Structure 1
Amino acid sequence: MLPINRRLLTGGLASAAIWPASRALANASDNVVKIGVLDDMSGPFADQQGMGDVVAARMAIEDFGGRVLNAPIELVYGDLQNRPDIGMAIARRWYDQEKVDAIFGIGNSAVALAVQQLTREKGKINVSIAAGTTELTGRACTPNGLHWTFDNYALARGTVSAMIAEGKRKWYFITSDYAFGHSLEANGAAVVRALGGEVVGSSRAPLNEADFSAHLLRAASSGANAVGLAVAGTDLINAVKQMGEFGLLRRGIQPAALLCLLTNIKAIGLDTAQGLLFTEAYYWDQNEQTRAFAQRFQRIHGRPPTMMQASMWGAVTHYLNAIRDAGSDAAEPVMAKMRATPINDFMTRNGRIREDGRIIRDMYLMRAKAPSQSRGEWDLLEVVKTIPGDEAFRPAAESECPLLRT
């Protein structure tokens, strides 16, 4: 990782101003536009969000020119430590004392749900990029909360459907015991049953579980031929590796990685991960534009971006464009512009923001390559198929968001 990231990380929860203060127009409140990135910077999800999200947000600010409405753009960051009390304390301080206009990332579902309600109370904007729970655009939806990259419905639908089609019809779920895991299991189990499969059991694992042996033994004795891993980050890495060590893969019991990312596959290794199916919103080696961004990002961060880190650039850019076009950084006109403007960037084509805050974008069914297919350190995945956005996400008619009924 290059020195700029070490300097940012040293600041911990403190503000990290990217641009110096200067005179601004009256339309920019407090003479500055301030963006916060609130993520797991030190825990099990740090590789897939963390300082990579800060790097991507900084790239977006630099690409925009560092100013909007003649006001400087500042970036702050915080480590939510996967605890709602800590995440809320940071968000509240940012809104009340540091005059942050919008919070991005919020890479823990329990924290994201709490921050979204606080954001509504404060009349600000939040953009959940790395949280998975569908409640953010369901019963807990708000007029100024957006769910940007993916959600647990899209992840589960893409992966479970593909595995059911391959004959994996008996499922056992191993689930992180908090809002993200519960939501991912519920969505995955619903797809299994809707497609005629059977859920034969489940177990709950605490966040940061190191030893999955008890869960895997239950899965192996359940009669399942698919294990739905409703876990993420280092928990996913540990679970897949231990499935290999326990011989479940040799017995035809296939893992279903319901949230998997490039960095997870790298950590697992292709010898174990080969053939693993999962659903993503971005892969660095899809086309010239995705490769160009990945090369820029890797020069700074030392590795290609995950889907979360790549989409941070797009979310921040869309937000800054909306401020410019609205002539204000106030939440209501900015949200109106964000909703009215199609999303088009290196990873999104004709994306749109639905009334419940769900961004509708294409998703991709991915497969981990065999070691013999890989041509380099990060050449790990292949795109199996594109899932159109209208098919990937929960239909509006099935949403419990009250904004869709007004």
Structure 2
Amino acid sequence: MFGRIARPATLAALAGALMMGTAAAQTNVKIGILGDRSGAYSDISGEGSVVAAKLAVEDFKPDAHGLKVEIVSADHQNKPDVGAAIARQWYDRDNVDMITDGVTSSVALAISQVTKEKNKVFIDTGAGTADLTGPQCTPNTIHWVYDTVALANGTGGAMVKRGGNTWFFLTADYVFGQTLQRDTSAVITKNGGKVVGSVKTPFPTSDFSSFLLQAQGSGAKVIGLANAGTDTINAIKQAGEFGITEGGQALAGLLVFSSDVHSLGTKVAQGLVLTEPFYWDLNDQTRAFSDRFAKQMKGGSKPTANHAGVYSDVLHYLKAVAELKSTTDGAATVAKMKAMPTDDPLFGKGVIRADGRKIHDMYLFEVKKPAESKGEWDLYKKLETIPGDQVFRPLNEGNCPLVKG
């Protein structure tokens, strides 16, 4: 009788021990989405990046891999000191293992250095400066979605080939704008074109009138907008008010997201040529993801390339952590991510190079005319697929200290 009474207790003890063993074997992972939630890039980044990260976790099914994943988020306000302070607090006090998003190049460079110091992981999706995989590359940072070299080769190269051989730049006065002008100027010159002038614009700014008048007066065939977000939207709107394109000059949006074009509308943005690595309507897989994303977004907005990048990099990061069963050594995790080919529904197959550059195809798009658009998010027609090994900077040209020889 006593044996019968003790048996359930024994089974309960065994079950408890098994549960303790399972808990001990589980790897806790904390991912921080550090982006712009209130400023010029909030449509590109913001809550959409959090939604994308959560969808990636849902699709990965962490329980099946012995992982428990938590997502946290914060607003860096497009200020490097704020971004660095949040990153430091997250790493030191809040046990964050990986930070992603990072829109705004000056902020991303600051986060990257803190991440190296703390031996954690930073995967940039939203910031453009190619210096992240060039002179300022680190063993702890990966650059995922696009960069200034890819944009220059895509949009800049296409515009020159179409006859736009003289350029004037409106350049956002911080790291991103300056590197985008630098890299696009190199492509223009290489293809036989010429930069006839440029002007630095405050970031952010709402009034581009004086800058557009300078560009108009230059006589350049192309006005290159080396800016992004609401700055790009405002510049394009005001260029329309000045009749710049009607006067024969072309606008080149060097970093344009689908959310920007949606805000402008096809009537204003029609004919704009741009380069992106993702568009919601590319194929069945991008459409399926975008429908899920839109259901969780206020207003039903479609994902930007930055949001797609957050989804993609979180998936790949979790795959690496599941293999390693650890998050303690950030550089080791990044090395594992580089060793594993990338493959996801939004970007397809790719690789991460030694310098931290994620390689995948980019696409040259043209904004549809209103008569061609079948709905509010039917924005682009694809002109060209640009292979990843052609659009991104060659590995041996970036001056990354991690690249030998």
| TM-score higher than 0.5 | yes
Q: CA deviation at 1:340?
A: 1.2
1:169 aligns with 2:203: no
Q: 2:296 aligns to what SS in structure 1?
A: helix
Given that residues 297 and 305 in structure 1 are in contact (C-alpha distance below 8 angstroms), is that contact kept between their aligned partners in structure 2?
yes
Q: CA deviation at 1:269?
A: 1.4
Q: Is the 8 A contact 2:142 2:334 kept in 1?
A: no
**TM-score, normalised on structure 1?**
0.92
Distance in 2 between the 1:284 and 1:299 partners? 14
Aligned residues of 1:33 and 1:68 also touching (Cα < 8 A):
no
Tell me which residue corresponds to 1:346: 345
Residue 56 of structure 1 aligns to a residue in which SS?
helix
- Separation of aligned partners in 1, 2:156 and 2:334: 34
Q: Distance in 2 between matches of 1:24 and 1:174?
A: 55
Instruction: Give the drift of 1:82.
Output: 0.3
Note the C-alpha offset of 1:70: 2.9
The aligned counterpart of 2:6 is none
Q: Which residue of 1 aligns with 2:321?
A: 323
CA distance in structure 2 between the partners assigned to 1:39 and 1:380 by the alignment = 25
- Matching residue of 1:201: 197
The residue number in structure 2 matching 1:16 is none
SS in 1 for 2:24: coil
Counterpart of 1:306?
Answer: 304
Question: CA shift at 1:255, angstroms?
Answer: 0.6
Q: Are 1:98 and 2:113 an aligned pair?
A: no
**In the aligned structure 2, how far is the partner of 1:278 from the partner of 1:94?**
36
Which residue identity does 1:224 align to in structure 2?
A
Partner of 2:246: 250
Q: How does 1:2-401 map to 2 (within 5 A)?
A: 24-25=23-24, 28=27, 32-67=28-63, 70-301=66-297, 302-330=300-328, 331-401=330-400
1: CA distance between counterparts of 2:125 and 2:73?
14
Task: Give the structure with the higher percent helix.
Answer: 2
Amino acid at match of 1:315: D
Larger radius of gyration: 2
Superposed CA RMSD: 1.4
1:263 & 1:186 partners in 2: Cα distance? 25
Q: Is the 8 A contact 2:67 2:322 kept in 1?
A: no
- Note closer, same or farther for the CA distance 1:68–1:151 as it changes in structure 2 (3 Å cut): farther
Deviations 1:182-203 (A, max 9, x none): 1111011111111110100000
Between the aligned residues of both structures, percent identity stands at 47
> 1:69 Cα deviation (Å)?
5.4
Query: Kindly tell me: are residues 27 and 70 of structure 1, through their superposed partners in 2, closer, same or farther at Cα, counting changes over 3 Å?
Result: closer
Contiguous gaps of at least 5 residues in structure 2 = 1-20
How big is the shift at 1:349?
A: 2.5
Question: Residue 370 of structure 2 aligns to which amino acid in structure 1?
Answer: P
Gaps in structure 1 of 5+ consecutive residues: 1-21
State the distance in 2 between where 1:158 and 1:317 align: 27
Residue deviations 1:135-191 (CA, integer Å, cap 9, x gap): 100110001100000001001110011111111111000000001111111011111
Distance in 1 (CA, whole Å) between partners of 2:342 and 2:144 is 11
CA shift for structure 1 position 332? 3.5
Q: How far apart are the structure 2 equivalents of 1:43 and 1:73?
A: 28
- Deviation, 1:350, is 2.2
Q: How many residue pairs align between the two structures? A: 382
CA–CA separation in structure 2 for the residues paired with 1:100 and 1:115: 13
User: Structure 1: how far apart are the matches of 2:101 and 2:67?
Assistant: 23
Contact 1:177 1:206 (8 Å CA) reproduced? yes
In 2, the alpha carbon distance for the partners of 1:68 and 1:116 equals 31
Counterpart residue type for residue 363 of structure 1: M
Q: Distance in 2 between matches of 1:57 and 1:379?
A: 25
Do 2:26 and 2:68's aligned partners in 1 also have CA atoms closer than 8 Å? no
- Counterparts in 2 of 1:394 and 1:304: CA distance versus 1, 3 Å: same
Deviation at 1:249, TM superposition (A): 0.7
The alignment's TM-score, normalised by the length of structure 2, stands at 0.92
Output the CA distance in 2 between the equivalents of 1:275 and 1:67. Answer: 47
